[in-house]
Structure 1
């Protein structure tokens, strides 16, 4: 099995190191990741300036690794269609993200968007994130990603789907189990902090706090809060089929 590993925290983030090292135990690993942090870039791709690639030494490993001055989606597209065009990956794994990717946050997530890009290219994919931004112990999450990768590889029916995993940051013996979940509802109370540059022009910093919402008991947010590993299958088809049928019944005329 050939596995392409990427992330949105940057190629020298701690999470991608543990993920790639773990995946070496089950297949050939190639890393292609942004040269710097690209969190919250969503599914952006680069079209207005060239993408530059540097082959780099990946920590203390011999893993083939490429640092790219683009977004996570760029990294998957460029690696698959150019750098590895004669060695197409069997699987793409994105992470391990420093912090959760829950509910509607997956829309903004560079980690998840890299996995979405793989699914668009008919490559099975996993996005994996830690449940808390302040805890950075990645070994157990890496082990779980490896087990999930093996399951996906042996169940080839999992296509056009992104497996989004959020891993609890409690001690391993406190994890209650694994739940297959739906996407919860994630909203923020946003604050825009205005500052002035030396010429008196305004600029803004964005910050926000999570607003507690009532959640479906099967949601990823509830599962993670209750110390379950959350596995959410995601699809990139955003069609709202109930409304699709409703609008069809409106009998438009030209």
Structure 2
């Protein structure tokens, strides 16, 4: 009987030691293919390359880098490199958290979402930066345990697990909801030697609202966090209770014929 297949990717790039260490651990119970960006692609979100060719480079046995985004890596990996549908697409382990509203910007999370769109269980894994190696090893073991569990008892179709780890060596975890990050929004304008303006976007480290049960608070309290998300972004309560009427147009409730 063939072993399950797991596709590993990230947004930190093929040289990330966290990516390769996680792939090595998963290989203890599954076949693994690694496809990751050839360079750092953090905050790429769900960008996909449509207007220029992609270049694939073999970096070892079943290890590849791609000149594209994290989503490109999963897309090409599933459709071109995998000999069967992967049971899991796991992204990470990212160097830095992806908590709360970070998920809308994160290339790490987007790669896992693309996996779910391709019919696999999507799992995004992120770790606090600057963690001692023994705690890195423990966090990677936790991420591998989540992957193993998702293979043994598959998560529902369309579900994506967003995993964050505080990097303190804990063996405890919580199931959480997404919190709300508070960003120090900033656009810095500078001039190049020819006097033309250029810009850096993004401020300092993000804070968050302190709401019990969220991923942000779980990390604050020293727990690993697993947040189940879903591809269906519909606000179903709002569909059933429209907020306003449109002048000159008629609302049709239910199926229009």
Q: Normalising to structure 2: TM-score of the pair?
A: 0.89
- Cα RMSD for the two superposed structures: 1.8
Alignment of structure 1 residues 57-68 onto 2, 5 Å:
57=60, 63-68=61-66
> Distance between the aligned counterparts of 2:216 and 2:28, measured in 1?
31
Q: Deviations over 1:235-254 (max 9, x none)?
A: 12221112111228848518
Q: Give the match for residue 126 of structure 2.
A: 129
Q: Does 1:34 align with 2:30?
A: no
Alignment of structure 1 residues 62-211 onto 2, 5 Å:
63-84=61-82, 86-130=83-127, 132-135=128-131, 137=133, 138-170=136-168, 172=169, 175=170, 177-210=172-205
Change (3 A) 1:42 1:55: same
Question: CA shift at 1:156, angstroms?
Answer: 2.5
> Distance between the aligned counterparts of 1:211 and 1:66, measured in 2?
33
Q: Does 1:6 align with 2:2?
A: no
SS in 1 for 2:120: coil
Question: CA shift at 1:162, angstroms?
Answer: 0.8
User: Unaligned regions of 5+ residues in structure 2, if any?
Assistant: 252-257
Q: Deviations over 1:202-245 (max 9, x none)?
A: 00112313454433200000000100000000112221112111
Q: Give the match for residue 60 of structure 1.
A: none
- Runs of 4+ more than 6 Å apart: none
Moved more, 144-153 or 5-14: 144-153
Contact 1:115–1:125 at 8 Å: present in 2 too? yes
Q: Normalising to structure 1: TM-score of the pair?
A: 0.90
Q: Deviations over 1:65-108 (max 9, x none)?
A: 11100100110011101122x32212111100000000000010
Number of residue equivalences: 244
| Aligned match for 2:230, one of 220, 228, 235 | 235
> Distance between the aligned counterparts of 1:66 and 1:88, measured in 2?
18
User: Unaligned regions of 5+ residues in structure 1, if any?
Assistant: 58-62
